[in-house]
Amino acid sequence: MLDLVVRGANLPDGRNGYDIGVIGGKIVEIAPQLAAPAAREIDARGRLVTPPFVDSHFHMDATLSVGRPRFNESGTLLEGIAIWAEQKPLLTAEDVRERALELCRWAIARGNLAIRTHVDICDDRLLAVDALLDVRETMAPYIDLQLVAFPQDGFLRDASARVNLLRALDRGVDVVGGIPHFERTMADGAASVRELCEIAAKRGLLVDMHCDETDDPLSRHVETLAAETMRLGLHGRVTGSHLTSMHSMDNYYVSKLLPLMLEAGVHAVANPLINIVIQGRHDTYPKRRGMTRVSEMAAIGINVSFGHDCVMDPWYSLGSHDMLEVAHMAVHVGQLTGREEMRGAFMSVTANGARTLGLAGYGLEVGKNADLVVLQAADPIEAIRLRANRLCVIRRGNVIAESPAVESQIFIGDRARRVDFGAGAQS
Chain contacts with Fe ion (rule: CB under 5 A): 309
The pairing of strands 175-176 and 206-211 is parallel
Least separation in angstroms between CB 241 and Fe ion: 6
Interatomic CA distance for residues 398 and 108, integer angstroms = 13
Least separation in angstroms between CB 59 and Fe ion: 6
Angle (CA) 203 361 347, round 5°: 95
Least separation in angstroms between CB 354 and Fe ion: 19
Q: Which is nearer to Fe ion, 81 or 400 (CB)?
A: 81
Query: DSSP secondary structure string, 264-299?
Result: HT-EEEE-HHHHHHHTTTT--SSPP-----HHHHHH
Least separation in angstroms between CB 274 and Fe ion: 7
Of 243, 276, 306, 293, residue with least CA distance to 114 = 306
Could you confirm whether 340 is annotated as catalytic?
Answer: no
The pairing of strands 53-59 and 415-419 is unpaired
Q: Which is nearer to Fe ion, 21 or 80 (CB)?
A: 80
Give the distance between the most distant pair of CA atoms in the chain. 73
Cα–chain center distance at 394: 19
Least separation in angstroms between CB 358 and Fe ion: 19
Least separation in angstroms between CB 315 and Fe ion: 8
Angle (CA) 251 255 259, round 5°: 150
Per this entry, what is the length of the chain? 427
Interatomic CA distance for residues 149 and 59, integer angstroms = 11
Query: DSSP secondary structure string, 194-250?
Result: HHHHHHHHHHT-EEEEEE--SS-TT--HHHHHHHHHHHTT-TTSEEEEE-THHHHS-
As a whole number of Å, the CA-based R_g of the chain is 22
Amino acid at 273: L
Catalytic residue, candidates 183, 213, 325, 382: 213
Of 341, 332, 335, 305, residue with least CA distance to 387 = 332
Q: Which is nearer to Fe ion, 38 or 132 (CB)?
A: 132
Of 403, 325, 363, residue with least CA distance to 47 = 403
Q: Which is nearer to Fe ion, 309 or 382 (CB)?
A: 309
The residue sitting closest to Fe ion, measured at its beta carbon, is 309
Is-cis flag, bond preceding 286, omega within 30? yes
Least separation in angstroms between CB 28 and Fe ion: 38
Question: 27: number of CA atoms within 13 Å, CB side?
Answer: 23
Expressed in angstroms, the distance from the first to the final Cα of the chain is 36
Q: Which is nearer to Fe ion, 183 or 309 (CB)?
A: 309
Interatomic CA distance for residues 378 and 97, integer angstroms = 37
Least separation in angstroms between CB 305 and Fe ion: 14
Q: Which is nearer to Fe ion, 62 or 336 (CB)?
A: 62
Q: Which is nearer to Fe ion, 63 or 369 (CB)?
A: 63
Catalytic center residues: 213
